[in-house]
Chain A
Amino acid sequence: MSENNKNAQDLDEILEKIENIDEVKEVEVPLFESIKFESPFENDDKSVSYFATATKIEESDGEYTVIGSSTVIDSNIKCGGNIKVKGQIKGNVSVNGSADVYGTIEGDIQANDVTLEHGAKVLGNIICKADVNALDDSKIVGNIVAKNAYINSHVEGDIEVLNEIKITSTAAITGKIVTGTFFTSGTILNATISIKR
């Protein structure tokens, strides 16, 4: 009898949640809003999340900044278009469009989407509005926050994904994974996984 009551209570709670579906939706939003990114740039309010500061960069679609393979930049970079990094950057990279990394970045990356090509190395956090795509032979030492993540590489750090994460057999992840949906096959995982809906 008491068990039935409990079930009925649970059902009531679920029904209440469904009625207040707007509240449930809000659960997804704070995930992104709660990211407090310490801005590398002067005059930026440090408490403002990346997604608020990103709009401050002058937008320039289709424009490419290319860092050549023999170039070393020891500074922070703000970029309104897209960036291709074949060389080395020691500093934070903030891009309005996409960031293609072939080389090494020692610093945080903020971008709409990030692709790590074969041999790329990122020592820093990656914060991404859309997708993170890490091909095999690439390495990330730092946390990843993104909408979707496709990981074929070594990751030492936590991964927080709003939507879905796909991890292939070439990946090796050490850290905590928070995700909406999780796909994997034959991966070496040394990770705590929590799936949030």
Chain B
Amino acid sequence: MNEKELFQSVNFESPFKNDDRKKTNNDELTIIGSSTIIEGKENSKIVCGGDIEIMGQVKGLVDIAGSAEIYGMIDGLVNAEQLIVEEGSKINGDINCRTTLSINGAEIVGNIKAKNAYINASVKGDIAATNDLKIANNSIIEGNIATGSISIESGAVIAGNLSVKK
């Protein structure tokens, strides 16, 4: 087998084949690394036209046009189209999510607004989900809840008023 045949016989499968985001939005993706701290100015803010992944610490307003994944700490208001807050993260401030919000194992101090929300976390503040709200068993919620429809898993702790209106 000569060199040309050898290379033709290799079927290389791209690792990014099914990852549309990496293909299309590579330039738009912002990543705040785990050792990165963004702070130190009055009225600090991050305005992001694309998607963002925050593993570090941010003090200030975070305004995201696309989706946000949070693994770190945010001290300030968060606005996003779609928001995923992962385990171990902390948000000290209000959350406004235009579509789907998912909080898993995080600590939130602030009011939450979203269209649809899945919450499996400790929340100190009011929650308003216009469409649908799911509260999982590890949730501890201290605040009022207003939503269009709700499902609460057994084990969840809720201290506050609940209003469900279609």
A interface with B by C-beta (< 8 Å): 40-42, 57-60, 63-81, 83, 86-87, 91-92, 96
Contact = CB atoms under 8 A, between A and B. Distances in A.
Contact of B38 (A59, A75, A86): A75
A71 B54 CA distance: 13
B33 A64 contact: yes
Contact of B46 (A41, A59, A73, A78): A73
Given A66-B29, A91-B41, A77 B36 contact: yes
A71 B48 contact: yes
Interface string B1-35: 00000000000000000000000000111111111
B104 to A, nearest CB: 23
Given A57-B35, A71-B48, A72-B47, A66 B30 contact: yes
A75 B45 contact: yes
Given A66-B30, A68-B28, A76 B50 contact: no
B126 to A, nearest CB: 28
Interface in B36-59: 36-41, 43-52, 56, 59
Contacts of B59: 75
Contacts of A87: 30
Nearest to B32: A65
A80 B35 contact: yes
Interface of B: 27-41, 43-52, 56, 59-60, 65
Contacts of A67: 30
Contacts of B36: 65, 77-81, 83
Contacts of A64: 31, 33
B48 A63 contact: no
Contact of A40 (B40, B43, B48, B50): B40
Contacts of A78: 36-40
A74 B44 CA distance: 5
Contacts of B50: 68-71
Given A68-B49, A68-B52, A70-B48, A76 B39 contact: yes
A81 B41 CA distance: 21
A176 B60 CA distance: 38
Contacts of A77: 36-38
A71 to B, nearest CB: 4
Contacts of A80: 33, 35-36
A83 B33 CA distance: 9
B33 A69 contact: no
Nearest to A79: B36
